[in-house]
Amino acid sequence: MNAIRDTWLVFRHNTRIALRQKAGIVFGVLQPLLYLVLFGPLFATIGTWETLVPGLLAQVALFSAGLAGFGIVMDARSGVLERLRVTPAHRTALLLGRVLGSSFTLLIQSVVLLAAGYAFGLRAPLPGVLAGLVLMALLGVGLAALSNAIALTMNPDLFAPVMGTAIVPLVLLSGAFLPMSMAPAWLDAISLATPFRHVVEAIRDLFAGRYATWTVAAGAAATVVLTLACVAVGTRIFNRENA
């Protein structure tokens, strides 16, 4: 019970801060929005909005939750993290509350992106959109946990440039901008080895109103496995030095 209460407290606190810093929320979704506005109309001449927007969602996830560790770097620097660690708060709650906050931010950004997509011509069925958002929320938890773990492990000055660079190939390999069915075999093979490819294709199916497909199952499985693994790693690293 303690764990749930503490997670809620930390989540609420972090969310309140995030909502106050609206610039951060906007900035996280700005790049995918630019793709939507400046690349989307071009893409729409050969493909559909229902194909493009799921890719852009993966891009937001990686740019927003993937860089969530930046916040923990700041808190570690200012001593806030250590101060919280001396409280009897449940150890995992300190990480989980933070990570759920990042996931919530990602959800807001996803909704912004979907609304903009809708304005341009995206027409996806509501159940598909909701299911897609569930996958995004899970993905946000996993990516934020991993990002926090990386941030706690590596030199804090290198975190932003290294992660910023690492995210680019992950976005490209997910087939976010052009479906990987168009790729040569070797590129397709690498892409299949990354989880985001499966997530993007699952959301594409969901947006097309196809729910009970192997692609959706694979995407959901990839998301759940990735999230569980990342939370496990994150918790382990977060609790490493504690007595």
Partner 1 sequence: MIKTSGLSKTFRGGVRAVRGVDLSVDSGEIVGFLGPNGAGKTTTMRMLTTLLRPTAGTATVAGRDLLTDPQGVRRHIGYVSQDGGIGPLNPVGEELELHAMLYGMRPAQARERVAQTLERLELAGLADRAGGALSGGQRRRFDLAFGLVHRPALLFLDEPTTGLDPQSRANLWDHIRRLRDEDGLTVLLSTHYLDEADALADRLVIIDHGAVVAEGTPAEIKGGAGTLDDAFLAITGRSLREDGGTGEPGAAGNGTAAAGTAGKRGAA
Smallest gap from residue 149 Cβ to partner 1 (A): 18
Closer to partner 1 by Cβ: residue 85 or 210: 85
Closer to partner 1 by Cβ: residue 10 or 237: 10
Smallest gap from residue 5 Cβ to partner 1 (A): 9
Closer to partner 1 by Cβ: residue 83 or 123: 83
Smallest gap from residue 62 Cβ to partner 1 (A): 25
Smallest gap from residue 46 Cβ to partner 1 (A): 45
- Going by C-alpha positions, the residue among 58, 61, 62 that lies closest to residue 164 is 62
Closer to partner 1 by Cβ: residue 26 or 130: 26
**Hey, what are 11's tokens?**
């989540």
Which residues are at the interface with partner 1 (CB under 8 A)? Answer: 6, 9-10, 13, 16-17, 21, 74-75, 78-89, 241-243
- Going by C-alpha positions, the residue among 114, 106, 143, 109 that lies closest to residue 130 is 114
